């Protein structure tokens, strides 16, 4: 073979082009492999959220617990996940995302297995709490890896669309699989299904993810900030979860008061720190603050409406877990098609502000239609509202994430990921607390006969009306979004 200096200039140019082409192809294949691994990790969390919702009535029946107590199965997961997101994201920036990513997957997988063997509600709730910690670590570092993998602009937006589409498919798979598994093998199978996925994801991640060190130069973990924000968030979500039973009980008031003290201390510590866990100036950058507020509202409607509609379909309309799970399939399909393949295009064409306004308006309109549920209704009565709400949420989530991570600098991937993930996850218990409190204030009695069913539905109507008002609030906030620079032509796919 001739050395490059022996070749003619045109031959050298061709050889360089071929070498560069091979390098680009390898880089593209590697990016896609890593992209697939991080999707698999977040897929676990999405599947778990939807699959456990469908199984809740069956779990309630076995352990003989009330509706309010059963929401701890969801709440315990939400408490620990929300509490550890920001800490996990920043720790990934400092110590490296791969270590935390894999440890989170392993912890989540082990907790899923122990939850499947639960012999009491307490055992299951503890397993769910540990699951939440594992999910916090793996999902926030997965999104941080995603931010670093794709450059800001059209390429990232396109990849984010695919990311949302696959996760939407996971939500659909969880809803349908939850019903099928619960009917065929019992509710425990919905916990065991995570185990093989987690094992495969952990093994492949260890083999293929790069052993990169932390990207935050001269970084160290702000321990006082980490302790106060984690403790404050844990107390906040715990208080909000208790608030689903009563906003005036000591179990609600004391944790909420302590959370305010802890989070105020966190702000004071961050203001004085030379290397803060979360620089407060980051919140003032671009659309970060507005995006996180909207994420809080959207998360609240997701959790509240999902919980209410699951109970309505199974315990009021008498649907089996399998049919109830299938009932959420149209919404998941909308997320897959519109959210996955259309939302980013809408952002590029019309801008983030218009898309977020439209999203909040559709959520409000869809929730308003769902207010018409009745004890004698049917699935087709709630379908139009579900479709409108799904359209709004499907374009809202990608737009919110684009706004939240715009302008992220190297070493800030975990910070941006942790902050927007925390906002969304805080919305879940907030939505459950507010909507179930509204529902319970109207009919606090358990379902026992026709009269109590009517009262339960009446409470649900007021709760759904509250969700519609949250959508209106979202419109007002979205109108204040400052439009970031608009990107050029839409890229064909992940590069």
Dist. CA 207–CA 211, nearest whole Å: 10
Return the CATH number of the domain spanning residue range 36-478. 1.20.1250.20
Q: Which whole number is the average pLDDT over 70-78?
A: 78
Q: Other CB atoms closer than 10 Å to residue 140's CB: what's the count?
A: 36
pLDDT for 422 equals 83
Going by pLDDT thresholds of 50, 70 and 90, the confidence category of residue 398 is confident
Within 13 A of 14's CA, how many CA atoms are on the CB side? Answer: 5
Dist. CA 316–CA 311, nearest whole Å: 7
Going by pLDDT thresholds of 50, 70 and 90, the confidence category of residue 464 is very high
Dist. CA 234–CA 334, nearest whole Å: 33
pLDDT greater at residue 212 or residue 493: 212
pLDDT at residue 114 above 90? yes
Burial of 323 (0-12, 13-18, 19+ CB in 10 A): middle
* pLDDT above 70 as % of the chain: 82
In angstroms, the first-to-last Cα distance of the chain is 32
Tokens linked to 186: 């019992």
CA triplet 308, 472, 429: central angle to 5 degrees?
A: 40
Dist. CA 111–CA 132, nearest whole Å: 9
- Three-class secondary structure assignment of 282-294: HHHCCCHHHHHHH
pLDDT at residue 460 above 80? yes
pLDDT for 212 equals 61
DSSP state of 287: T
pLDDT for 28 equals 60
pLDDT for 139 equals 84
Dist. CA 274–CA 393, nearest whole Å: 38
Going by pLDDT thresholds of 50, 70 and 90, the confidence category of residue 265 is very high
pLDDT at residue 69 above 90? no
CB 91 within 8 A of CB 140: no
Dihedral angle sign, alpha carbons of residues 248, 425, 315, 309: positive
Going by pLDDT thresholds of 50, 70 and 90, the confidence category of residue 217 is very low
> Tokens 């720790």 — which residue?
91
pLDDT for 107 equals 94
Q: Which whole number is the average pLDDT over 242-267?
A: 86
pLDDT greater at residue 361 or residue 225: 361
pLDDT for 43 equals 75
CB 155 within 8 A of CB 487: no
* pLDDT digits 0-9 by tens, 270-324: 888 877 778 778 877 767 888 889 999 988 888 788 888 888 988 888 888 778 8
pLDDT at residue 389 above 70? yes
Tokens linked to 369: 């239609």
Q: Other CB atoms closer than 10 Å to residue 248's CB: what's the count?
A: 8
pLDDT for 407 equals 67
pLDDT greater at residue 246 or residue 236: 236
pLDDT at residue 192 above 80? yes
Q: Other CB atoms closer than 10 Å to residue 1's CB: what's the count?
A: 4
pLDDT for 23 equals 45
Of 263-272, 467-476, 480-489, minimum mean pLDDT range? 480-489
Using CA atoms, how far residue 487 sits from 346, 347, 350, 459, 483, in Å, is: 12, 9, 11, 46, 11
pLDDT for 21 equals 46
Dihedral angle sign, alpha carbons of residues 80, 147, 145, 274: negative
Dist. CA 120–CA 155, nearest whole Å: 48
**Domain locations in the chain as residue ranges:** 36-478
Contacts 24+ apart (CB under 8 A), 444-448: 446/66, 446/67, 447/67, 447/315
CB 465 within 8 A of CB 439: no
Dist. CA 302–CA 412, nearest whole Å: 28
CA dihedral 447, 316, 323, 43 (to 10 degrees): -60
pLDDT for 216 equals 52
pLDDT for 487 equals 43
CA dihedral 167, 101, 259, 121 (to 10 degrees): 70
Going by pLDDT thresholds of 50, 70 and 90, the confidence category of residue 226 is confident
Dist. CA 177–CA 206, nearest whole Å: 28
Going by pLDDT thresholds of 50, 70 and 90, the confidence category of residue 488 is very low
Going by pLDDT thresholds of 50, 70 and 90, the confidence category of residue 490 is very low
pLDDT for 401 equals 82
CA triplet 468, 470, 471: central angle to 5 degrees?
A: 65
Tokens linked to 472: 């209106």
Q: Which whole number is the average pLDDT over 235-245?
A: 79
pLDDT for 206 equals 86
Mean pLDDT rounded to a whole number for the chain: 79
Tokens linked to 331: 């919404």
pLDDT for 435 equals 87
Q: Which residues are CB-contacts of 231 (< 8 A; sequence separation ≥ 6)?
A: 83, 262
pLDDT at residue 449 above 60? no
Tokens linked to 243: 């608030």
* pLDDT digits 0-9 by tens, 8-44: 555 554 554 444 444 444 556 677 778 878 777 777 7
* pLDDT digits 0-9 by tens, 404-443: 877 677 667 777 778 888 888 788 778 888 888 888 776 6
Q: Which whole number is the average pLDDT over 247-274?
A: 88
pLDDT for 8 equals 58
Of 210-214, 339-343, 379-383, 406-410, minimum mean pLDDT range? 210-214
* pLDDT digits 0-9 by tens, 159-171: 777 777 677 666 6
pLDDT at residue 133 above 80? yes
> Tokens 């993998």 — which residue?
149
Helix (H, G, I), strand (E, B) or coil at 119: coil
Compute the 3-state secondary structure of the chain and give helix, strand, coil in percent, each to the nearest 5. 80, 0, 20
Dist. CA 427–CA 431, nearest whole Å: 6
CA triplet 73, 77, 79: central angle to 5 degrees?
A: 115
pLDDT for 17 equals 46
């Amino acid at each position: 073979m001739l050395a490059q200096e022996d070749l003619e200039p045109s031959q050298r140019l061709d050889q360089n082009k071929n070498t560069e082409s091979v390098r680009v192809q390898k880089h593209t294949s590697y990016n896609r492999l890593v992209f697939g691994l991080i999707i698999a990790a977040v897929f676990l969390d999405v599947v778990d959220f939807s699959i456990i919702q469908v199984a809740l009535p069956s779990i309630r029946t076995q352990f003989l617990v009330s509706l309010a107590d059963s929401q701890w199965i969801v709440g315990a997961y939400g408490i620990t996940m929300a509490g550890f997101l920001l800490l996990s994201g920043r720790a990934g920036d400092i110590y490296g995302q791969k270590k935390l990513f894999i440890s989170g997957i392993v912890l989540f997988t082990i907790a899923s297995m122990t939850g499947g063997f639960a012999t009491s509600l307490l055992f299951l709730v503890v397993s769910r709490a540990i699951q939440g910690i594992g999910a916090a670590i793996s999902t926030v570092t997965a999104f941080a890896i995603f931010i670093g993998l794709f450059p800001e602009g059209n390429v990232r937006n396109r990849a984010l669309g695919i990311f949302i589409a696959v996760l939407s498919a996971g939500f659909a798979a969880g809803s349908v699989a939850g019903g099928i598994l619960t009917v065929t093998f019992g509710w425990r199978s919905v916990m065991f299904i995570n185990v093989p996925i987690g094992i495969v994801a952990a093994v492949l991640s260890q083999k293929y993810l790069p052993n990169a060190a932390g990207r935050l130069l001269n970084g160290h973990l702000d321990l006082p900030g980490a302790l106060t924000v984690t403790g404050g968030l844990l107390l906040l979500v715990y208080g909000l979860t208790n608030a689903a039973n009563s906003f005036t009980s000591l179990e609600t008031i004391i944790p909420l008061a302590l959370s305010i003290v802890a989070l105020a201390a966190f702000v004071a510590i961050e203001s004085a720190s030379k290397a803060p866990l979360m620089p407060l100036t980051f919140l003032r950058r671009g659309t970060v603050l507005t995006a996180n507020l909207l994420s809080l509202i959207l998360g609240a409607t997701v959790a509240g409406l999902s919980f209410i509609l699951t109970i309505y379909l199974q315990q009021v309309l008498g649907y089996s877990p399998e049919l109830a799970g299938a009932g959420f399939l149209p919404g998941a399909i909308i997320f897959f098609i519109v959210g996955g393949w259309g939302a980013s295009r809408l952002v590029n064409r019309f801008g983030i502000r218009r898309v977020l306004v439209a999203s909040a308006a559709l959520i409000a309109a869809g929730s308003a239609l769902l207010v018409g549920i009745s004890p004698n209704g049917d699935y087709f009565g709630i379908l139009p509202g579900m479709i409108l709400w799904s359209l709004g949420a499907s374009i809202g989530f990608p737009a919110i994430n684009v706004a939240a991570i715009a302008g992220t600098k190297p070493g800030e991937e975990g910070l941006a990921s942790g902050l927007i993930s925390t906002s969304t996850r805080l919305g879940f218990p907030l939505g459950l607390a507010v909507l179930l409190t509204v529902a319970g204030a109207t009919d606090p009695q358990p379902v026992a006969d026709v009269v109590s069913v009517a009262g339960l539905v009446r409470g649900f109507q007021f709760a759904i009306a509250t969700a519609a008002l949250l959508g209106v609030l979202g419109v007002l906030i979205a109108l204040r979004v400052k439009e970031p620079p608009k990107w050029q032509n839409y890229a064909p796919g992940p590069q």
